[in-house]
Chain A
Amino acid sequence: MASRIFDRFLIPFLPGARKCFLALAATSLAARSSLAAMQSAAPVPNIFKTVSTPADAIDRLSRFVLTITGLIFAIVFSLLAYAVVKYRHRGADDNREPPQVYGSNQVELAWTVVPVLIVLVIFFATARVIQSVEDAIPPPGAIQVTAVGHQFWWEFRYPALGVVTANELHVPVSDRANPTPTFVKLLSADTDHSFWVPQLAGKTDLIPNRVNSIWIDPHETGMFVGQCAQYCGTQHAKMLLRVYVDSPEQFAAWVSAQKQPASVSDSAAAGRKIFETTACINCHNISGTIANGRFGPDLTHLMSRDTIASGAAPNTRENLKQWIHDPDSIKPGSLMPAMNLNDADLESVTAYLESLK
């Protein structure tokens, strides 16, 4: 991303530096794409491989509870297995009945008191973590994000930074000495959703007419996946989530790029004209143009994202074209209508979107 911006703005002015910048750009681009390739290759959202403070707290509590329940299982399973083996009737079918025991006060008291104690221990451990996660107060360096759930995509706004994007959330890595966690306000534009990126935090729902809140405090960079976890309609399954935890420099660069209005490219002028005279502008926003719809994702920096349709397809020219031509072929039941453009117009509009870096 940064390399493309350098390309665009500096090359016309500093021809001598071009080779240098190109070399730098090439290296960073190569590094970036191999990192991206590694990350998008197989990210497993394992709830026990956490990288963020609230998720870590949950992970510790989970292991504690698992240990206790594991012990209970081992003991009771062994007793059951022993009884089933030892007391199985083998041999002749005599009519003798075993001793008829009706109960035992001491034994029954013991197996009441011990479970009560175990439950108390688990309860206090649980109460502590509930409080530490839910009642956390944002420190001064916290990033504030507002997430709005839609059928079937995610809107992300950074009010203090003036950034609006969709589906792929960028946050800075947080340093324990100087924490910069991200606090996300959760709203919904239509029905219930749930924000779940297992390695970063437990899930919290997005419910219309209600303001919820979640925070993440990642201490490792990387890309982490999740998806909507509350059934929200036909394409609930493809309302995917990506969270990019950037280094502070990467995050700052990303923010400053996102704040710019849409890039203007002469070669894409034809496509832009079609876009602006079609229904596209009713749903989509492109900063600096007349398109200011709110129903669909913000497209100002569409090409800064790795996927389209909330993760349903990689962000390539073919997929973009296919998505505009027939969204149901990628995400059947999504609320984007097929735009019924002829082939030439489709090519132009795709080229225009590809210019929105």
Chain B
Amino acid sequence: MRLPSPEKIDLLIELVKTDFKLRYNHTMLGFVWVVLKPLLIFSTIYLVFSFVFKNEPNFGLNLLLGIFIFGFFSEGISRGLSALSDKSHMILKISFSRQLLVLVPIINALINFLICFLIFLVFWFISPVKVGFAALAFPIIILELAVLMVGISFFTSLITVRFRDLSSIVEVFMNMLFYATPIMYPVTVFPQSIVAVLLKNPLAVAIEESRNVLVRGGNFRLAPIVYLGFIAVFVFWLGLRYFKKHSSGVAEHF
């Protein structure tokens, strides 16, 4: 995937645009749903848990950020999984870079996340938070998460062609992940031994570190960025190798 040709870039842009247009086609609110859905989830959880965690500083902001980041991850993974099987009608008729197809839903998830982040910024501006230059770590975290998502999707998009059950398994797994990741509870609820395990989860690291630099005004910490980056690049590399080896046989298994 070095130096893609201009035609390939044109194709990627066109595929991303098409995917985006088709998603909210025929809906009245259109892409307002991109923000509305997570906001509604946020409201529900906030209403209940703000009583439980009334002593947590900035509980609302932390919750909102966590929900948006989780939404980004969840959307990217579930749409990345069906990236190839959804486009079987194209793959069967013409040869073009199948890797592009896996990239498209992740890019769209990223665009949706950026829209949500703008909404987050609105709440953020009206809150008494201090933030330092460590906030610049945030785009790096999101980028690392995106790379991880592409890597995972290289595997899932291919496996799902032969083994359709995978999408149900991933759906259940995402549900579990929502509870296993400190989103609607602060990580401090658990004793340190459990926290250590929870923070092995790269998504938890991404969310906690984002909260650290954006909401808690913490200092820049290299460790989580390196950890997330290492996992992201490793999974991406493994995924790309797997994809290159097995994607040529896809057409026969639709």
Do A and B bind? no
B→A interface (CB under 8 Å): none
